[in-house]
């Protein structure tokens, strides 16, 4: 929580548990009515979400097994920043997860994923001119790279086939760019 920006006042804060991906915090706060309570939330590093597009207009998706939901999910490359600038983190995640390198990388915007229980801010990038090579996923990343037409990727986001919220939102926020990339020279709606 940022002091002075809202009506709640943080009295103290404690890290409840820490692992290599997340920190869990318990903040003792005072509400506007004077009552006090403890608010628990995930304290996470800023993250990037990358929508990769090849010169042929294909969107690079990942089909990845996610243990907490015990399902295979379609996603775009994403991950936490390790102290580097967002653009550098986006390039790193694209290469690690999809084996991709891009010619151009554009910041599309930012969003909060679950602001009621986590403070992570995501930076959305669209990567164009993507060329695929060998990926290097982490041990906990069981995934395969799948390329689909831009319209199919957008339909997957609309229909829920891309069930990862940050990935679906990133695809939808990049829709005008994806359509422009797929049909060079045509006007974007």
What pLDDT, on a 0 to 100 scale, did the predictor assign at position 138? Answer: 81
Q: Going from the N-terminus, what domains does the chain have, and what CATH number goes with each? A: 9-43 (no CATH), 47-182 (3.90.79.10)
pLDDT, mean of each 10-residue run, the chain (189 residues): 71 83 88 94 93 96 94 96 96 96 97 92 97 88 93 97 97 93 49
What pLDDT, on a 0 to 100 scale, did the predictor assign at position 188? Answer: 37
For the chain, the first-to-last Cα distance in angstroms comes to 39
Q: Where are the beta strands (DSSP E) in the chain?
A: 9-18, 23-30, 36-43, 47-53, 58-66, 71-75, 78-80, 100-101, 104-112, 121-128, 131-132, 143-149
């Amino acid at each position: 929580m940022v002091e002075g920006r809202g009506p709640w006042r943080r009295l103290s804060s404690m890290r409840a548990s820490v692992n290599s991906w997340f920190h869990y915090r318990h903040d003792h706060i005072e509400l506007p009515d004077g009552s006090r309570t403890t608010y628990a939330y995930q304290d996470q590093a800023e993250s990037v979400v990358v929508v990769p597009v090849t010169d042929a207009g294909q969107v690079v998706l990942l089909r990845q097994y996610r243990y907490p939901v015990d399902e295979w999910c379609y996603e775009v490359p994403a991950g936490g920043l390790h102290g580097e600038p967002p653009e550098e983190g986006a390039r790193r995640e694209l290469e690690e997860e999809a084996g991709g390198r891009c010619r151009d990388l554009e910041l599309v915007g930012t969003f909060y994923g679950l602001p009621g229980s986590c403070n992570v801010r995501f930076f959305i990038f669209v990567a164009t001119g993507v060329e695929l090579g060998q990926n290097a996923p982490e041990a906990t990343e069981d995934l395969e790279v799948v390329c689909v037409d831009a319209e199919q990727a957008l339909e997957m986001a609309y229909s829920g086939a891309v069930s990862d919220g940050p990935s679906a939102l990133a695809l939808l926020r990049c829709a005008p760019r994806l359509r422009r990339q797929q049909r060079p020279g045509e006007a974007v709606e």
